[in-house]
Chains A and B, each alone.
Chain A
Amino acid sequence: MRGYSFASLLGRALRGHRGWPPAWRSADPGKAYDVVVVGAGGHGLATAYYLAKNHGITNVAVLEKGWLGGGNTGRNTQVTRSNYFWPQSAAFFERSLKLYEGLSRELNFNVMLSQRGILTLAHSHHEMEALRRWANAIRINGIDSEVLTPAEIGRLVPLINLDARFPVHGGFIQRRGGISRHDAVAWGYARAASALGVSIVQQCEVTDFNIDNRRVTGVSTTRGSIAADKVCICVAGHTSVLAAKAGFRVPVTSMALQAMVSEPLKPCLDTVVISPVIHMYVSQTDRGEIVVGGGADAYNSYAQRGGIPLLEENLAALIELFPAFSRLRLMRQWAGIVDITPDTTPIMGHTPVRNLYVSGGWGTGGYKAIPAGGETMAHTVANDAPHPLIAEFGLDRFESGALIDEGAASGVAH
């Protein structure tokens, strides 16, 4: 992709910015496509982009019931990291981080990747052992991680209260981890995919799958029937709903994951801080807002709003760790619907219906996986065989019991 640069901005500024073309083309649904991607979130758009770019498949439609990037892609807390315990997870998420590192140039769209470091805290001797196990696993996986003492943490994040109710015993940092701008990722992929010929159809809800002899032949939508050789489901929290339409069940529970922001403030927090045990993470956006995230409301939900108990819990945890934030004001609270798998590892690959593929079960961590998720799903769809990086992420692992339980293995939920 080209077209966006300081020079082009300067040039158009002289002409009142009148010459800018649409970032992407809004298409009407056609009759038939080689591939239909259901869901124009980050994963759906990235899958379409890599289908076109890496596999030359451009007769692709991305169908979106609302507006593109309007689901979890536009609601998450923008964290990007690859500090995973299991080699399979680490390889996948490291690929994703590598792609993120080149994404602004690849897409010619600044996704504002800020590799400011992600600090994970331990609050007891035992947690520190678990964190050490995790940090060592990351290094063995070939990824950067550094164990820090409380004193080093105090120097890195001066606002932190090391003597909190659960004192900080140490932590580790992935310096290449950080945040980026979530909307930009969706828009950047949409723009790049559209330029390669992909049709992005918004306000078009898939109401059913057309299945013939356990093979998908297309989809029914609110804007008519669309034939497709292959269909890929990329719908974040709604994986169960779509799977049910296609006649199978998935090991997924949908929950409302909360996040909240304060009023904007001059820079005061330069690192992303995660406390897995206290269930709180915090960062400061480039606009200056303090973004706080925590857990999901503890029951099934498709309502994109958060409740009070978790709000209070998250903010109490924040203040216990960062007393200086108590006089800030909370501006906004929201939730995204995440689909959580029993082992917190995504579900990617084939489904019981032939030529129907699924990318879901992203739980609380789908945003950071967008580039690699798109790249590997495109490969999987194009070749009708899982990309090696996601070979073990298939639905069949639940039958054999070969779960990839990230939280359980590292000893810390994340």
Chain B
Amino acid sequence: MLRIPCPFCGDRDEAEFRCGGELPREIPQPGVDDDAWSDYLFNRDNPKGLVHERWCHSFGCNQWFNVVRDTVTHRIHAVYRPGEPRPALDGPCATAAKSGG
């Protein structure tokens, strides 16, 4: 059971959240070709290591936010709000958010 630092509510258990998956690339313009569209729609980086993903505190504030999480250790390195820039991750856990560990 992950402990996820909601940027709006603070630390909460995974059971209160819904994972929206890896952050998609920007939605392509309607005119893109099938290849680019299917790349957006289906292909994923699916990294082994740090992933930028989207979570919703659905049984809490119902707000979506972004999480930087390690897919091997499940350690949460950072959280940030939609629209905020991706945090730099130089240190082991460099951001406003606390580590989940």
Binding site for B on A (CB under 8 A): 238, 240-241, 244, 249-254, 298-303, 307-309, 339, 342, 398-401
Specify which chain B residues have a CB less than 8 angstroms from the CB of A398 in the assembled complex.
38, 41-43
Specify which chain A residues have a CB less than 8 angstroms from the CB of B35 in the assembled complex.
399
Within 8 A of A (CB), among B5-38: 14-15, 18-19, 21-22, 34-35, 38
A244 to B51, CA, bound (A): 14
CB atoms of A302 and B72 under 8 A apart: yes
**Taking CB as reference atom, which chain B residue is nearest A308?**
B1
CB atoms of B22 and A253 under 8 A apart: yes
Given A249-B39, A250-B43, A342-B42, answer yes or no on A303-B22 (Cβ-Cβ < 8 Å). no
A401 to B18, CA, bound (A): 27
**Taking CB as reference atom, which chain A residue is nearest B15?**
A309
Size of B's binding interface in residues, CB under 8 A: 27
Asked if B62 is at the interface (CB within 8 A of a chain A CB), the reply is no
CB atoms of B19 and A252 under 8 A apart: no
CB atoms of B21 and A253 under 8 A apart: yes
Specify which chain B residues have a CB less than 8 angstroms from the CB of A401 in the assembled complex.
34, 38
Given A240-B44, A249-B45, A342-B42, answer yes or no on A302-B71 (Cβ-Cβ < 8 Å). yes
CB atoms of B1 and A238 under 8 A apart: no
A233 to B35, CA, bound (A): 23
The answer, among A238, A250, A300, for a CB contact under 8 Å with B51, is A300
Asked if B96 is at the interface (CB within 8 A of a chain A CB), the reply is no
CB atoms of A251 and B53 under 8 A apart: no
CB atoms of B73 and A400 under 8 A apart: no
Asked if B89 is at the interface (CB within 8 A of a chain A CB), the reply is no
A302 to B69, CA, bound (A): 12
Chain B 63-99 interface 0/1 with A at a Cβ cutoff of 8 Å (1 = within): 0000001011110000000000000000000000000
Specify which chain B residues have a CB less than 8 angstroms from the CB of A253 in the assembled complex.
21-22, 44, 46
Specify which chain A residues have a CB less than 8 angstroms from the CB of B19 in the assembled complex.
298-300
Given A298-B19, A301-B71, answer yes or no on A399-B45 (Cβ-Cβ < 8 Å). no
Specify which chain B residues have a CB less than 8 angstroms from the CB of A302 in the assembled complex.
48, 71-72
**Taking CB as reference atom, which chain A residue is nearest B49?**
A302
Specify which chain A residues have a CB less than 8 angstroms from the CB of B53 in the assembled complex.
299-300
CB atoms of B22 and A399 under 8 A apart: no
CB atoms of B46 and A252 under 8 A apart: yes
